[in-house]
């Protein structure tokens, strides 16, 4: 009976866990649809900013761009990596995949003789890199709202721009995820600063109806470049948020299915043990009756 009681308690425990994982799955599924819609809605604007910037840079002489610090190219001695992770767990291998990419990139840069520093976004990144001997720049960005906002992107972009323009780092990269579907996301390493010049085949002349006041350089310095660096971070945060929610939904789906299989197996074991106990009791009763007859 003690064994049967232990099995019953185990089944109840797994059933309680299954209820939690099912609830978390439903919450993540509801949120990921909205996150997916935000990602899809933001992509055209991001592509538009990149296209306009590419067209403008194609029309301007490289000499005229020398005063724009966000475009300044110098000998790369130190690289900063912006690591986009989550604040919460229970999302499968989402964070560990990003951290593996970061560690691989850090090793590659150090092998090239470059210094590496990290800008951390998310509590999981702070926890993971706490005991790893890599320089951390500034205060980490943690406990961000579940829905990324432009204000957060401006804060991260402003800090990154300050590190670059002040000469603390010579290049900045973003390590995050691209949301591909509800079942798949891809870790991506994006060159952030200095802003990449468009390739020759991507350069297209400005449309005659497009006018810039007071000048193209002023528009780039005051509008295009700030919007580009802010929107690049914002898009990366949106992609990371959708990828995290999709990973959590899939992880909770797998956990619920595993709990269902475990409950089924435990129920079978319980029924066999119960049947064995009943059979043993019947045998004892029959043996006792036979003994009384004798």
Does the domain formed by 24-249 have CATH 3.40.1380.10? yes
Q: Is 91 a catalytic residue?
A: yes
- Strand order in 171-181's β-sheet? 135-136, 115-121, 78-84, 171-181, 184-193
For the chain, give every domain's residue range.
2-15+252-293, 24-249
pTM value is 0.85
Residue 108 contacts residue 144 (beta carbons within 8 Å) = no
Query: Would the pLDDT of 61 be above 90?
Result: no
Among 91, 137, 160, 237, the one annotated catalytic: 91
pLDDT per position as a tens digit, 238-263: 999 999 999 999 999 999 999 999 99
Query: Would the pLDDT of 206 be above 70?
Result: no
pLDDT per position as a tens digit, 219-229: 777 888 888 99
What are the beta bridge partners of residue 184? Answer: 181
User: What pLDDT shows up at residue 201?
Assistant: 46
Q: Fold for domain 2-15+252-293?
A: Helix Hairpins (1.10.287)
**What does pLDDT average to over the chain?**
87
Domains 2-15+252-293 and 24-249 share a fold: no
What are the beta bridge partners of residue 173? Answer: 81, 191
Which of 1-15, 28-42, 95-109, 144-158 shows the lowest mean pLDDT across its residues? 1-15
Could you give the CA distance from residue 100 to residue 116 in angstroms, rounded to a whole number? 15
């Amino acid at each position: 009976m003690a064994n049967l009681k232990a099995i019953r308690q185990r089944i109840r425990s797994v059933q309680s866990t299954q209820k939690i994982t099912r609830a978390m799955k439903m919450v993540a599924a509801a949120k990921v649809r909205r996150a997916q819609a935000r990602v899809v809605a933001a992509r055209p604007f991001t592509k538009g900013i990149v296209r306009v910037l590419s067209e403008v840079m194609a029309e301007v002489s490289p000499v005229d761009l020398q005063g724009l610090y966000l475009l300044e190219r110098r000998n790369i001695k130190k690289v900063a990596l912006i690591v986009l992770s989550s604040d919460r767990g229970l999302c499968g291998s989402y964070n560990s995949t990003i951290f593996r990419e970061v560690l691989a990139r850090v090793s590659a840069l150090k092998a090239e003789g470059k210094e590496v520093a990290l800008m951390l976004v998310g509590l999981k990144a702070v926890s993971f890199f706490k005991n790893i001997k890599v320089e951390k720049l500034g205060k980490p960005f943690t406990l961000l709202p579940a829905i990324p906002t432009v204000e957060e992107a401006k804060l991260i972009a402003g800090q990154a721009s300050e590190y670059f323009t002040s000469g603390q780092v010579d290049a900045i990269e973003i390590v995050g995820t691209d949301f591909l579907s509800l079942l798949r996301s891809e870790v991506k390493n994006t060159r952030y600063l200095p802003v990449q010049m468009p390739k020759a085949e991507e350069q297209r002349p400005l449309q005659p109806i497009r006018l810039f006041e007071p000048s193209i350089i002023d528009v780039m310095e005051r509008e295009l470049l700030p919007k580009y660096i802010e929107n690049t971070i914002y898009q990366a945060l949106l992609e990371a948020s959708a990828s995290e929610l999709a990973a959590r939904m899939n992880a909770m789906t797998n956990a619920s299915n595993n709990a269902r299989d475990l409950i089924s197996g435990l129920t079978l074991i319980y029924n066999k043990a119960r049947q064995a106990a009943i059979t043993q009791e019947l045998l004892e009763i029959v043996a006792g009756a036979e003994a009384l007859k004798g």
